[in-house]
Amino acid sequence: MSESVSQIFIGTLLANNFVLAMFLGLCPFLGVSARLNTALPMGAATTFVMLVASLCAFGLNWLVTALHLEFLRLIAYIVIIAAAVQLVEMVLKKTSPVLFRALGIYLALITTNCAVLGVALFQTAREYRFIQSLTFALAGGLGFTLALLLMAGLRERLSLANIPNVVQGTALSLLLAGLLSLAFMGFAGLGAGE
């Protein structure tokens, strides 16, 4: 792949936003986006774990390919992501208990966030090199945070609005996500490889 770093960054952040265009990380997107003050820490934690996971996956992919054990790739990825989340949890607990308490519940949930495994799988499928992989992970995480923040903003405004009962709950969130996704389609073509 010969995409430049800036193309990958812009493309992943906006045109191919992880949540709104590639449907990765929808569970936390719909679950944690009710309020702005939880959306930001969640986005930051996920971005950080995505960077760690991307780094680990890059090394692991090299190892697995060198040993001709490609069929173990998926199992190795999921184990290393779980381990990375655990590690991040432990480091945070030692170095910054305040931040740890703020993120506490969400950290463990990140293991089953498909955006994290998605980063590892897509960077392998697209044969990104080291710097490209890290850029991809960073842009993916920032894009996830952006989508989460936009959604939280919308939902906070709507919690005071007068909405028919039928549209309450998940249906409303999905329709909002659809509108956001439609808006993000305006970025299509930005950062494209050609």
Partner 1 sequence: MATAPLIPGQKPRSNLEELLEGVWKQNPVFVMVLGMCPTLAVSVSAMNAMSMGLATAFVLVGSSLLVSLMRNLVPKEVRIATYILIIATFVTVVDYAIQAISLALYDALGAFIQLIVVNCIILGRAEAHASKNRPVKAVLNAIGMGAGFTIGLFALGAVREILGAGKLFGVSLFGPDFQPWVVMVLPPGGFFVLGAWLLLFNWLDSRKAAPAKPTESHAHV
Q: Which positions touch partner 1 (CB under 8 A)? A: 20-27, 30, 71, 74-75, 78-79, 82, 112-114, 117-118, 121-122, 125, 165-172, 174-175, 177-179, 181-182, 185
Q: Which residues contact 55 (CB under 8 A, 6 or more apart)?
A: 133, 134, 137
Which residue, 121 or 149, is less far from partner 1 as judged by CB?
A: 121
Identify the DSSP state of 166. Answer: G
Least Å from the CB of residue 71 to partner 1: 6
Which residue, 131 or 174, is less far from partner 1 as judged by CB?
A: 174
156, 165, 176, 185 from 171: Cα distances, Å:
16, 11, 9, 21
Assess contact for 64 and 170: CB atoms under 8 A: no
Least Å from the CB of residue 96 to partner 1: 26
Assess contact for 22 and 108: CB atoms under 8 A: no
Four-point Cα dihedral 22, 185, 142, 103, nearest 10: -70
Least Å from the CB of residue 52 to partner 1: 16
Which residue, 24 or 146, is less far from partner 1 as judged by CB?
A: 24
Which residue, 97 or 175, is less far from partner 1 as judged by CB?
A: 175
Least Å from the CB of residue 38 to partner 1: 19
Which residue, 118 or 141, is less far from partner 1 as judged by CB?
A: 118
Alpha helix segments (H runs only) across 96-129: 97-109, 114-125
Calpha distance 45→28 (Å, rounded): 12
Least Å from the CB of residue 95 to partner 1: 25
| Tokens 């800036």, located at residue | 6
